[in-house]
C-alpha cells in the first residue's frame, strides 16, 4: 500500500484487516519498489497524493519492478482528471471515494482470481473458440 493521504490509507487498511488482508505500507517509491521487486504478483493501492507528489512515472516503475502487479488507484471527485491518465498507464481499476467496502473487496477478489475489470475487453488469446 502506497497511499499518501492518511485518512484514505487508514480507511483502506482497516477495511483490509477486517477482511483478513494484511497490506504492507510503503512510505516512499523506493521502499515500495524494494518491497515488490521480483514478486510474481502483488496488489498496490495508490492514491492521488502519491501521483501528485511523484508523478505518473510511478506506474512504470511499479510495472518494471513487478510485472504481475495490479494497481488500484484511489481517488476522490476533485482528482478525477488523474483517472484517464491512470487507466492509460495500465492501472487495474480506479475506485472513487468514499471507497465502499464491497467495491474494494470485489477488486481484491477479482485480482486474486485474475479477472479483468468490468468493461475491459478480452484479448484475442483470452477468448475461447
Ordered per-residue pLDDT tens for the chain, 129 residues: 999 999 999 999 999 999 999 999 999 999 999 999 989 999 999 999 999 999 999 999 999 999 999 999 999 989 888 998 999 998 999 999 999 999 999 999 999 998 766 555 433 333 332
Task: Confirm whether 115 is domain-assigned.
Answer: yes
Specify if 1 maps to a domain.
no
Task: Confirm whether 116 is domain-assigned.
Answer: yes
d(CA 29, CA 18): 26
Grid cell, residue 64, equals: 518494471
Residue 81 lies in a domain: yes
**Beta strand residue intervals within 17-58, DSSP E:** 42-47
Q: Give the structural domain span for 53.
A: 6-126
Domain count, the chain: 1
Amino acid at each position: 500500500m502506497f497511499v499518501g493521504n492518511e485518512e484514505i490509507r487508514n480507511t483502506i487498511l482497516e477495511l483490509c484487516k477486517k477482511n483478513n488482508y494484511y497490506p504492507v505500507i510503503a512510505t516512499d517509491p523506493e521502499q515500495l519498489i524494494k518491497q515488490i521487486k521480483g514478486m510474481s504478483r502483488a496488489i498496490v493501492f495508490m492514491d492521488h497524493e502519491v501521483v501528485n507528489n511523484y508523478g505518473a512515472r510511478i506506474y512504470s516503475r511499479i510495472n518494471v519492478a513487478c510485472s504481475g502487479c495490479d494497481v488500484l488507484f484511489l481517488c476522490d471527485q476533485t482528482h478525477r482528471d488523474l483517472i484517464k491518465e491512470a487507466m492509460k498507464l495500465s492501472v487495474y481499476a480506479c475506485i472513487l471515494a468514499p471507497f465502499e467496502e464491497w467495491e474494494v473487496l470485489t477488486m481484491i477478489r477479482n485480482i486474486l482470481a485474475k479477472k479483468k475489470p468490468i468493461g475491459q475487453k478480452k484479448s484475442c488469446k483470452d477468448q475461447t473458440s
